[in-house]
Amino acid sequence: MINVKQLSHSFKVGKKGVENEISVLKNVSLTINKGEIASIVGRSGSGKSTLLHLLSGYITPTAGEIEINGTRVSAFSEKEWAKFRLEHFGFIFQNFQLIPSLTTFENVELPLTLKGIEPSERKKQVMELLTSVGLNQHVDHYPNELSGGQQQRVSIARALITKPEIILADEPTGSLDSETEKDILSLIKQLNNEQGITFVIITHDEEVAKISDQRYELQDGVLTKGGDSIAV
């Protein structure tokens, strides 16, 4: 499903002509199989977010390759990436990233609108999904009228509405209390079991990592698995 080979990334900082290069990821290699939950654990500044942005095509690697379903996506143009993300990926964020001026229904409906789905079909799909995640009583509520857990369920529903193969989650429980975190992790595990969705979760939380089939660690840009360095 996801195959990363010797991925490295650096940023240049400073004025032109006197720039310094800062290495963020160093020869990262990993394989995530279809239907797995993989967690990438690390402290702030370890390179987790950079790796997620590389996997989703928002930044281009300095070196190395990314393959998804056998397609070398690391060579994609921005336009190719935009189309690929809409067709294959869903995203869950720590701060939910809901549009405050849109209702629950409208936030979840938005990806279908971007795909050109007819209004009647959009309504059917959105209502079915909101019912399945326990939000059918909140379709007309705005984000500021929902609890943190409810907002994250809206975010998850929005990620699911296009029926993605892969969901990339950035600290999905980082803004939640411990009880709500348990509910959201249970929902993620349920979706993985029932629909076979592949999840890649970046986190610093060991409770999140416990639901994973594979656990990776990032420290100073170096990836390890199970405490052992990964050969590159």
Distance of CA 85 to the CA centre of its chain: 11
Contacts of 135 (CB under 8 A, 6+ apart): 104, 150, 153, 154, 157
Longest dimension (CA), the chain: 58
C-alpha to C-alpha distance for 105 and 161, rounded to whole angstroms: 11
Q: Which CATH number fits domain 2-229: 3.30.465.10, 1.10.3720.10, 2.60.120.10, 3.40.50.300?
A: 3.40.50.300
Contact 44, 205 (CB under 8 A): no
Confidence (pTM) = 0.88
C-alpha to C-alpha distance for 9 and 152, rounded to whole angstroms: 30
Residue-level pLDDT, tens digit, the chain, 232 residues: 899 999 999 988 777 766 788 899 999 999 999 999 999 999 888 899 999 999 999 999 999 999 998 899 998 999 999 999 988 999 998 889 999 999 999 999 999 998 899 999 999 999 999 999 999 999 999 999 999 999 999 999 999 999 999 999 999 988 889 999 999 999 999 999 999 999 999 998 888 999 999 999 999 999 998 644 343 3
pLDDT in tens, 128-152: 999 999 999 999 999 999 999 999 9
Angstrom distances, CA of residue 200 to CA of 53, 102, 192, 214:
12, 27, 11, 10
Distance of CA 34 to the CA centre of its chain: 15
The residue ranges of every structural domain in the chain are 2-229
